Structure 1
Amino acid sequence: MSRRWLAVPCVLFPMIALAQDAFAPATAAVEQGDYKAITSVLVSQDGKVVYEHYFDEGGAEARRNTRSATKTVAGILAGLAIADGKIAGKDARIFDLLPPARRARMQNPDPRKDAITVEDVLTMSSLVECDDENQFSRGNEERMYLVEDWVQFWADLPVQGFPAWMPKPKDSPHGRSFRYCTAGVTTLGEAVQTAVGEPLQDYAQRRLFAPLGIEKPEWQFTPLGLAQAGGGLGLRTRDLWKIGQVYLDGGRAGGKQVVPAAWVQASLSAQATAREEADYGYLWWLMKVPVGGEVRTYPAMAGSGGNTVFLLPDKRAVVVITTTNYNERQPHLLTFKLFTEKLLPALK
């Protein structure tokens, strides 16, 4: 496959030429299939793209299915709605934000469900029984896709039980029991939409995408027409970079504060422990990455297939990797290996 480097005369920009040389091993490894179906890689440092390569026919203008990286966008929109005074704060109760019919029709009513907050959903730690990583869970996302009303699906779930071998929230790190739940973030999307009084996709365009110069995002919608905050948003590789860059820069872009700095800081701080190799912020993964004999925390937007946006504060860098490795075993591991084996060593 032919190489598609940035169309910049390298003779005029020797630093770009040097950067391309440093990433040549990454290009070769991806092209020979070492990491399966990688579709694009972009690396920026100090706010400038130093490497950009497309490995499929879609090229730079293709809208990449970000899968669950969309959830990070939902978390940003929740923060913006709080900043706009449309949501009282992270402790606002989800059912107070949803249309009243949600509570009125709720199955398995429980005061503990009424108490679920925006922060509980942002940290994947609400008390409803929802776990995408457990095929037996009543709230597993594959069950959600079988019904028409995805938000009511979440609202109807029972409260999670904690048998003796499962730590209760009060005994867990950060006082939260992490269980990955797409249905909860889908519900957060409707909560934000109801609070701001406009379709979620319009609010996202006005408050986030337009200020970042992101055009024509391709949303997926639930059967009832709600923009799906839980996954599937189509964005260009450079759009993903812009979202990562604004968070790396503390919420600023184009000389303006696009996302409140305090929300960025809270989002990128450990709010729950997801697994041994990762904590969790507000719909951001906080990956623990071994670098030169030590472990560093790199926040990440992540979606199935291994689609990932890494933030590297210590290197002032953003790394975007898109893939179609949906049917591969451990696709996130393929992305992680590309990141640690080829891309990190190329960054000075």
Structure 2
Amino acid sequence: MSVHTEKSLPRQSLKELGISARNVIDFLTYLKAHSIELHSLMLVRHGQVAAEGWWAPYGPDLPHMLFSLSKSFTSTAIGMAVQEGKLSVDDPVVSFFPKDAPEVISPNLAAMQIKHLLMMGTGHAFDTMDPLARAKDGNWVKAFLEQPVEHQPGSSFLYNTGATYMLSAILQKVTGETLLQYLQPRLFEPLGIVNPTWENCPRGVNTGGFGLKVTTEDIAKFGQLYLQKGLWGGQRLVEESWINAATSKQISNGDGGDSDWAQGYGYQFWRCRHGVYRGDGAFGQFCIVLPEHEAVLAMTSGTNDLQGVLNGVWEHLLQAFDEEKGNLTEEDVAAEKELQHILEGLYIEPPRIEANSVREAEFGNGKNCLLEPNDLDLQSTRIEIHGDTAVLEIHDKRGEHLVELGRQAWRLGRTTLFEEEEQIAASFTWKSPETLLLSIQRIETPFRLGFEIELLEDGIEILNTVNVSFGEPTPAPIRGRLQ
């Protein structure tokens, strides 16, 4: 259990909060049975944390990449700017960027308002994010305004991350501050969210639709703020009318049924079954608000089965709430102890195939290996194994990057291999006598990278794998010659 300052949510036992520990255990069992990889979870009721756990090497103090859960924070900033009179949801999008607008403004583009960006009803036929990211001049606003708007804004739902970027750009235009700067005194500081970071576009505008990194408890506090209709510590941070609008159905996104992606969409929040709403992001980053039970569930994950996570919540956690707090039995007390034991032992197992290989000595000599041209722009690599530690050294156009790995056990460290320096956990095992498997868990993200390095007669071949992705093609094997 980490140390909690007054900026943290208070802790209470499940019994006192009227939550069945058995149901929480059943939820964790369900995740395991369905091979769903969670990285953290925090269950809050009546503003108090009832259960929390991190799958080591993930931990409570580590921020986690939120992907599209960032969108709900962007929506909140727009709500605050509306209440400050800086803009209105009825303002035309094109009115903020006269210099970046196309010479001929189509009727549909002219009709597109801020509310259409918020509800994902811009009228586009495809997500505009790709053309934005490809803009050679880095002017994402201009690239957005250039896209054809095939349908009347507000007439149909299309998930559009470029639309959320435009909300960030508009906010920066009217306030002179980035989204992150704007939210700092208004949201992050009051909630005790420390050191949030947000990615930028090439022109210094926060990406809005993705790119925010905060901790699991920060996600829980954000959900709690919404549950409390915008009040925090006796202070009003967001107007109740905005919370109601943002979390209610603004546009239809399907015909309901069993899908939690077809229950209606608000202002960058999804409606769910069971009277629940949520913000979510790729690979299972969740802020789920259950108003009927006065509860919030925050989770970070590395899974492609987001509906599977929600099905588990509905199946096991919806039944966990008991309005009569005194109804819990001795069995419940025993279950709470069992749950505590489970939560303290959560762990992502590193791959363990063979601890040793007869060919390991060939890696001990630290020979440099020149790599053939490859998709990842890696130039050379070297591995040294001493005892239970392997050191991977990789050279690319940015320079030299080191990764320290434990033998069939996670080794915590930092690396610059993935652009910015970040915290990682890394391990190695032998897949076969000729093939060394390196695993790097990027513990501020959902990603786990695998490098399978096969010893050939005249060099090596490297195969790349990743646990979750947006469906990018797997890089071709990389060949290298020992010098």
Q: Give the TM-score range, shorter chain.
A: 0.7 to 0.9
Match of 1:333 in 2: 307
- Is residue 345 of structure 1 aligned with residue 319 of structure 2? yes
Question: 2:61 is matched by which residue type in structure 1?
Answer: E
RMSD across aligned C-alpha pairs, in angstroms?
2.6
- Give the structure, 1 or 2, with the largest relative contact order (CA under 8 Å, sep 6 or more): 1
Of Structure 1 and Structure 2, the greater strand share is in 2
Question: 1:324 is matched by which residue type in structure 2?
Answer: G
Q: Do the aligned partners of residues 314 and 116 (structure 1) sit closer, same or farther apart at CA in structure 2, a change above 3 Å counting?
A: same
The answer to whether the 8 A contact 1:220-1:233 is kept is: yes
The answer to whether the 8 A contact 1:41-1:319 is kept is: yes
Question: 1:111 is matched by which residue type in structure 2?
Answer: P
Please state how far the C-alpha of 1:272 moved relative to its aligned partner.
Answer: 0.3
Match of 1:275 in 2: 254
Rounded Cα–Cα distance in structure 1 between residues aligned with 2:85 and 2:52: 39
Question: 2:226 is matched by which residue type in structure 1?
Answer: Y
Match of 1:284 among 266, 269, 286: 269
The number of residues matched between the two structures is 308
Q: Indicate the SS of the match to 2:280.
A: strand
Rounded Cα–Cα distance in structure 1 between residues aligned with 2:222 and 2:12: 31
The answer to whether the 8 A contact 1:267-1:281 is kept is: yes
Rounded Cα–Cα distance in structure 2 between residues aligned with 1:218 and 1:102: 28
| TM-score normalised according to structure 2 size | 0.59
Q: Do the aligned partners of residues 92 and 333 (structure 1) sit closer, same or farther apart at CA in structure 2, a change above 3 Å counting?
A: same
- List, as ranges, runs of 4+ consecutive aligned residues in structure 1 with deviation greater than 3 Å: 4-7, 10-22, 27-30
1:51-70 aligned at under 5 Å gives the runs 51-70=51-70
Deviations 1:86-135 (A, max 9, x none): 11x2111122234x3222xx2763133123111111111113x2433xxx
Query: Which of the pair has more CA radius of gyration?
Result: 2
Q: Do the aligned partners of residues 222 and 33 (structure 1) sit closer, same or farther apart at CA in structure 2, a change above 3 Å counting?
A: farther
Rounded Cα–Cα distance in structure 1 between residues aligned with 2:12 and 2:265: 44
Rounded Cα–Cα distance in structure 1 between residues aligned with 2:117 and 2:80: 16
1:259-270 aligned at under 5 Å gives the runs 259-270=238-249
The answer to whether the 8 A contact 1:69-1:303 is kept is: yes
The answer to whether the 8 A contact 2:14-2:50 is kept is: no
Q: Do the aligned partners of residues 192 and 275 (structure 1) sit closer, same or farther apart at CA in structure 2, a change above 3 Å counting?
A: same
Of Structure 1 and Structure 2, the greater helix share is in 1
Match of 2:94 in 1: 95
Q: Which 5+ residue runs of structure 2 have no aligned equivalent?
A: 5-10, 257-262, 323-483
Rounded Cα–Cα distance in structure 1 between residues aligned with 2:12 and 2:292: 30
Please state how far the C-alpha of 1:18 moved relative to its aligned partner.
Answer: 7.0
Match of 1:135 in 2: none
Q: Do the aligned partners of residues 204 and 324 (structure 1) sit closer, same or farther apart at CA in structure 2, a change above 3 Å counting?
A: same
The answer to whether the 8 A contact 2:246-2:266 is kept is: yes
Rounded Cα–Cα distance in structure 1 between residues aligned with 2:139 and 2:309: 33
Deviations 1:20-72 (A, max 9, x none): 45422333444x36342211111111111111111131211111111111111
Match of 2:75 in 1: 75
Question: 2:80 is matched by which residue type in structure 1?
Answer: L
Q: Indicate the SS of the match to 2:283.
A: helix
Please state how far the C-alpha of 1:176 moved relative to its aligned partner.
Answer: 2.9
The answer to whether the 8 A contact 2:278-2:286 is kept is: yes
Q: Indicate the SS of the match to 1:206.
A: helix
Name which of structure 1's ranges 251-260 and 54-63 shifts more when overlaid on structure 2: 54-63
Rounded Cα–Cα distance in structure 1 between residues aligned with 2:143 and 2:161: 11
Identity value in percent: 26
Match of 1:109 in 2: 105
Match of 1:302 among 265, 280, 287: 280
1:111-260 aligned at under 5 Å gives the runs 111-127=107-123, 129-132=124-127, 139=128, 141-147=129-135, 148-161=138-151, 176-260=155-239
